[in-house]
Amino acid sequence: MEPLQQFEQFEAAALAALANAKDAASVEAARVEFLGKKSGRIKELQDLLGKATSEQRPTFGAKFNEVRQRVTAALEARQLELAKPKASLTGFDISLPGEPVRLGRRHPLTQTMDEFKNIIGRMGFTVANGPELEDEHHNFEALNIPLDHPARDPLENFYLATATATAGGPVLLRSQTSTVQIRVMEKTKPPIRIVSLGRVYRPDTIDATHSCMFHQMEGLMIDTSVTMAQLKTTLRLFATAYLGRDVTIRFRPSFFPFTEPSVEVDMSWGQGWMEIGGAGMVDPSVLRAVGYDPDEVTGFAFGFGIERFAMRRYGITDIRRFTENDVRFLSQF
């Protein structure tokens, strides 16, 4: 074979071996076979150079350099190619810095409600749920709120213009979680000890302490001899468990159609007081309406705003913060 042909054959064989190498190990094997310092086939070409006549040497030398350069370049290209991620990731620069992962977290109100369930759960209350879309029976009638009561004014409630309940009456977004008391009593026999936490809706003018949607925790305890003292103790224990020992709870005589006697409940806040909700002994007519005998069972009920507890605990001065979805606010909890 002509020496120059030997150079070409070496190149062709080396390029073919590299092209067929499917992984880094076979590329390395090809490198050793062709370019290896000790016994690579490149030595044969070097021998040819050594034997070349002085006329041949410049041509052979140039050819040798070209061939070695091309094979070395092909080797490096193949090594790079195999180090790259597979087809699905081509066009993707793996050396770019990653995007920092922003950890989400539970909404402060969800955290508050979870903590409420925990505290009140330790006092023996289990969690009940009710629908946010209600009929007038559960939102008013069964709670002893008569048709001419101002709370039923359509302007004080979110009635749905078109929908009607299966029973045929109008449907509204519930204005209080007291609805769940009725739903639970309708299908459960005493004793009962439940809470229900969720959204309520009122067309109030929105300001720092009022919203058209907020959350309440309703409580209901029914047994043979439930007393007002137990109600007050339950609420005090609950409030101090959530807010700490320095909170003072105050009860003011009040009126609700579904409790007798009724109280409004305030908590100390700074120099003053903030109303947190209402409570009382379940009215005998409410018990009767769900088929209980008021001579056999008594009960207490309470309902208060969840936002206000969270606001006091965290020093939040505007209830609107909870629904603005501002990450700078939310990420603090």
DSSP strands (E only) in 168-212: 170-173, 192-201
Letter for the amino acid at 188? Answer: T
279 sits near ligand DAH (criterion: CB under 6 A): yes
- Only one of the segments 24-32, 43-51, 73-81, 276-284 lies at the binding site for ligand DAH (rule: CB under 6 A); that segment is 276-284
Q: Which of 108, 130, 198, 280 binds ligand DAH (CB under 6 A)?
A: 280
Of 196, 195, 194, 190, give the one whose Cα is nearest residue 287.
190
Q: Using the rule CB under 6 A, which residue among 178, 196, 234, 298 binds ligand DAH?
A: 178
Main-chain dihedrals φ then ψ at residue 162, nearest 5 degrees = -105, -35
| Among 18-26, 152-160, 236-244, 299-307, the segment contacting ligand DAH (CB under 6 A) | 299-307
Task: State the nearest-atom distance from the C-beta of 161 to ligand DAH, in Å.
Answer: 24
For residue 303, state whether it binds ligand DAH (rule: CB under 6 A).
yes
Provide the minimum distance between the beta carbon of 153 and ligand DAH in the complex, in angstroms, as a whole number: 15
Q: Is residue 307 at the binding interface for ligand DAH, with CB under 6 A as the rule? A: no
- Our finding on whether 299 is near ligand DAH (CB under 6 A) is no
176 is a site residue for ligand DAH (CB under 6 A) = yes
Say which amino acid occupies 142.
A
Does residue 203 have a cis bond before it (omega within 30 degrees)? no
Query: Contacts with ligand DAH in 253-272 (CB under 6 A)?
Result: 256, 259, 262
User: Contact, 259 vs 279, CB < 8 A?
Assistant: yes
Closest CA to 81 of 16, 124, 21, 164: 21
- Can you tell me whether residue 279 is helix, strand or coil? strand
Query: Cα–Cα–Cα angle for 28, 32, 36, nearest 5°?
Result: 140
**Which part of the chain contacts ligand DAH (CB under 6 A), choosing from 8-16, 83-91, 244-252, 277-285?**
277-285
CA distance 129 to 183: 9
Is position 278 an interface residue for ligand DAH (rule: CB under 6 A)? yes
Closest CA to 217 of 230, 204, 205, 235: 235
> Whole-angstrom Cα distance, residue 280 to residue 227?
10
Q: DSSP E strands: which ranges in the chain?
A: 126-127, 133-135, 158-164, 170-173, 192-201, 213-223, 249-256, 259-269, 272-282, 298-305
Separation of alpha carbons 198 and 178, rounded Å: 11
Return the amino acid letter for 314. Answer: Y
Interface with ligand DAH (CB under 6 A), residue from 201, 214, 302, 322 = 302
If binding is defined by CB under 6 A, does position 130 make contact with ligand DAH? Answer: no
State the minimum distance, in angstroms, from the CB of residue 177 to ligand DAH. Answer: 7
Radius of gyration of the chain (CA): 41
Give 115 or 156: the residue with its C-beta nearer to ligand DAH.
156
Contact region with ligand DAH (CB under 6 A), list: 30-38, 55-63, 158-166, 274-282: 274-282
Is 49 in a helix, a strand, or coil? helix
| Binding-site size, ligand DAH (CB under 6 A) | 13
Reading the block at residue 83, the tokens are: 């180090």
283 token code pair: 């009215």
Binder among 128, 249, 301, 306 for ligand DAH (CB under 6 A): 301
Residue 198 near ligand DAH by CB under 6 A: no
Binders in 83-112 for ligand DAH, by CB under 6 A: none
Nearer residue to ligand DAH within complex by CB, 71 or 128? 128
What is the nearest approach in angstroms of ligand DAH to the Cβ of residue 189?
20
Q: Select from 11, 134, 136, 218 the one that contacts ligand DAH (CB under 6 A).
A: 218
Residue ranges binding ligand DAH (CB under 6 A): 176, 178, 218, 256, 259, 262, 277-280, 301-303
